[in-house]
Amino acid sequence: MSTRKPSYTNPKPCKHLSAYKLKHGLSGYKSLQKCLKTTPNGRTSVKNPGTEIPRCSSCNGYQGRLYICLICSSISCSSHALLHTQSEIGHYLAVDIERAELYCCACSDQVYDPDFDKTVMSKHMVDLPYSTNSADSIGERLCERKRLGSGVELVDLKKAEKSALTRDQRAKSCYPLGLRGLNNLGNTCFMNSVLQALLHAPPLRNYFLSDRHNPKTCRKRTANRLCLPCELHGIFSAVYLGDRTPYSPAQFLYSWWQHSENLASYEQQDAHEFFISVLDGIHEKESKARNQIRDTGDCQCIAHRVFSGLLRSDVTCMTCGFTSTTYDPCLDISLNLDTSHCSWSDASNKPVKPNDNSSSSTLLGCLDLFTKPEKLGSDQKLYCQNCEELRDSSKQMSIRKLPLVLCLHIKRFEHSLVRKMMRKIDSYLHFPFSLDMTPYLSSSIVRNRFGNRIFAFEGDESDISTEFEIFAVVTHAGTLESGHYVTYLRIKNQWYKCDNAWINEVDEGIVRASQCYMMFYVHKMLYYKSHEDLSRLPISTRIEAFHRVAGCC
C-alpha cells in the first residue's frame, strides 16, 4: 500500500503516438467514434458497419485480438499487426476491436491517450443503456478507463446535458457516491469530521436524501430563521450530487454558530460537543415543527429516532438491598478509557476500575467497565426509599434500548479534580468492526445479576437486532489544546480517510492503529442494506487500487 503513489499520471505516449497526433490530430478518433458500440453489458467495442465479422486482412482469421488501423481502417490480427506497420509506413496506431483500446503496433504495446479515452467515453455515454442493471457494469468498465485521465470531460456537450445524472456517476466513478471533501473553514476539522460521519449514517442519509426535511416548506413556516436541518439538507444534496471538489459548509457553520453561540469562534472545539449540539439543533427544530412528542415520551425527530437509546441504571442500597431503577435517554454512550496502567491514578468522581491489568485496552473492555456494578463513594450517598435514609449504594448501568446508530464516545479528555487540570489520554484502544451489544443489554445484565430464577424483565428485546457494524470513526491526534480530527469512513468494507478536503482510501490497519475518539456503529442490517442502495453506483471491491484516481477526490 505504501509503495503506491497517491496519484496516477498518464503514461508518456510513445513516439509513434505523439507523431500520429501531431500529424492527424483527433480526426482519426472522431471518425472511429461512429463505429463504437456499447454492448448490453456495458463494454465498448468497435463495430465496422461494412463487414459482419472482422477478419485479419493478412490471414483472414477472426479469432484472437484484432486491431483496426487508425489510418486506413484495415484490420490485422495480433501476429500481423507488426507486418502492417512494415508495409504501410506510418500506420503505427490501431485500436483493439474487442476492447476499444489504443494499441501501438510498432511498440507492440498498449498505449494511453486521454483524448482517445474522451472520445470513447463520450460515445459510451450516448449509448448508455438506462437500466440500472447494466449501469452497474458500465460503471466498472468506465472505472477501468478512468485510471487514465484525471479529468475526463465529455466531448458531446449536448448529449451530456441530457443525462447529467449519468455523467455524475461516471465522471468520478471510482469512489462511492457521497465521498466529498469538506474544506477547513478555520479550525473546523472538529465539524468536518463529525459531518462526514453524519453524512454517511444510513438512516440520516435516507432521511435527508428522500427530502423528508424540505427547506422550501421549512422556510415558509419559519420566515428566514436559520435552521440546522435545512443546512444539513443542503450539505447532503451537495455531497451526494456527485461533485468531488471539496465543499465548504460555510452556511452550515454560520447556522450552527447562531444555534450555539458559546461555541461560535474560530477556535478548536471538541468534536463530541459539536456532535451533541448539532443533534440538539436538529431536535429543537424538528420537534417544534412536527409537534410529534408522543405520549410515549419518545421524540420523533430525526436526531432522536436515529441516535437516541435508553440507558437503565439500577441503584442498589448496600444496606437493605433495595434496587431502584431509572431510565434515561441518551444520544451516545461515553466510555471511560481503562487508565489503570497510566502514570497518575484517576481520582475524579468517575472511578475507573483496573481492567485485568491488560496493557492495551479494548472497546469491549470499556463497555464491560461501563456496565459493571460500581460502588458509589461515601461522599455520594443516595437516598434509599426502603430505608428512608441516605445509604451507601452501588450503581449499575445497562442499555435498555439500542439506538439505530450507536455512537460511542471515548473519554480521552480527562479532568482531574486533584490536579485541577485536564489531560488527554493517548493510549491505544482496540475496537472491533462488528460489535454485538447483547452482553450490555439490560436483559443480559439483569439476568446475570439475578440469575434466571427470578428473572422478570419487562419488555422483550429478543427480536431486536443487537449486531452492529462500524461505519465511521472520528480520530483525534495531538494534544488537549491543539490537535486534528480525522474521520475514517467504512463503505462496503473499504475504509476511506476523510481529512478535511482530502479523501483517500486507506488500509484497515491504519484505521485500527488510529486514536479513536468517537465510533459510529449502525445496525448490521442497515449497514448492508445501505450498500444495496448504493450498489448501482460504480464501485466494486474487485477494482484494484491502480484503477482508481486519487488526488482530485
Is residue 509 a contact point for other proteins (CB under 8 A)?
Answer: no
Among positions 22, 89, 165, 456, the unique one binding other proteins when judged by CB under 8 A: 89
Question: What's the min distance (Å) between Cβ of 90 and other proteins?
Answer: 7
Cβ atoms of 533 and 176 closer than 8 Å? no
Nearer to other proteins, 41 or 251 (CB): 41
What 3 state SS string does 123-162 have?
A: HHHHHCCCCHHHHHHHHHHHHHHHCCCCCCCCCCHHHHHH
Give the bridge partners for 93, in sequence order: 104
Is residue 289 a contact point for other proteins (CB under 8 A)?
Answer: no
Among positions 10, 18, 31, 41, the unique one binding other proteins when judged by CB under 8 A: 41
Nearer to other proteins, 38 or 277 (CB): 38
- 237 SS3 class: helix
**DSSP 3-state percent helix, strand, coil across the chain (nearest 5):** 35, 25, 45
Burial 432-464 (b: 16+ CB within 10 A, else e): ebebebeebbbbbbbeeeeeeeeeeeeeebeee
Stretch that binds other proteins, among 70-78, 267-275, 303-311, 410-418 (CB under 8 A): 70-78
* CA of residue 167 relative to chain centroid, distance: 21
Question: What's the min distance (Å) between Cβ of 39 and other proteins?
Answer: 5
Mask: binding to other proteins, 513-542, rule CB under 8 A, as x and -? -----------------------------x
Residues 6+ apart with CB under 8 A from 18: none
Is residue 60 a contact point for other proteins (CB under 8 A)?
Answer: yes
Residues that bind other proteins (rule: CB under 8 A) add up to a total of 25
Question: What's the min distance (Å) between Cβ of 82 and other proteins?
Answer: 9
Nearer to other proteins, 24 or 447 (CB): 24
Among positions 8, 17, 46, 57, the unique one binding other proteins when judged by CB under 8 A: 57
Strands, E assignment, 166-297:
none
Cell numbers at residue 143, please? 472505472
Nearer to other proteins, 40 or 373 (CB): 40
Catalytic annotation present for 430: no
Stretch that binds other proteins, among 68-76, 125-133, 274-282, 284-292 (CB under 8 A): 68-76
Catalytic annotation present for 301: no
Is the Cα torsion angle 361, 362, 368, 370 positive or negative in sign? positive
What 3 state SS string does 360-398 have?
A: CEEHHHHHHHHCCCEECCHHHCEEECCCCEEECEEEEEE
Is residue 385 a contact point for other proteins (CB under 8 A)?
Answer: no
Cell numbers at residue 57, please? 486482412
Is residue 71 a contact point for other proteins (CB under 8 A)?
Answer: yes
- Report DSSP letters for 319-375, one per residue: TT--EEEEEEEESSEEEE---TTSSS---SSS-----TT-SSEEHHHHHHHHTS-EE
Give the bridge partners for 484, in sequence order: 477
Site for other proteins in 120-179 (CB under 8 A): none
Among positions 52, 388, 458, 463, the unique one binding other proteins when judged by CB under 8 A: 52
Tracing cell 450498500 back to the chain, one arrives at 531
Among positions 10, 109, 327, 386, the unique one binding other proteins when judged by CB under 8 A: 109
Among positions 21, 26, 33, 65, the unique one binding other proteins when judged by CB under 8 A: 65
The one catalytic residue in 69, 189, 498, 516 is 189
Nearer to other proteins, 104 or 399 (CB): 104
The one catalytic residue in 24, 415, 430, 484 is 484
Nearer to other proteins, 38 or 530 (CB): 38
Alpha carbons 143 and 362: distance in angstroms, whole number: 38
| Phi and psi angles of residue 285, each rounded to the nearest 5 degrees, phi first | -70, -45
Is residue 103 a contact point for other proteins (CB under 8 A)?
Answer: yes
Stretch that binds other proteins, among 106-114, 353-361, 362-370, 445-453 (CB under 8 A): 106-114
Cβ atoms of 498 and 192 closer than 8 Å? yes
Q: Which residues bind other proteins (CB under 8 A)?
A: 39-41, 52-53, 55, 57, 60, 62, 65, 71-72, 74, 78, 87-90, 103, 107-110, 542, 544
Catalytic residues: 189, 484
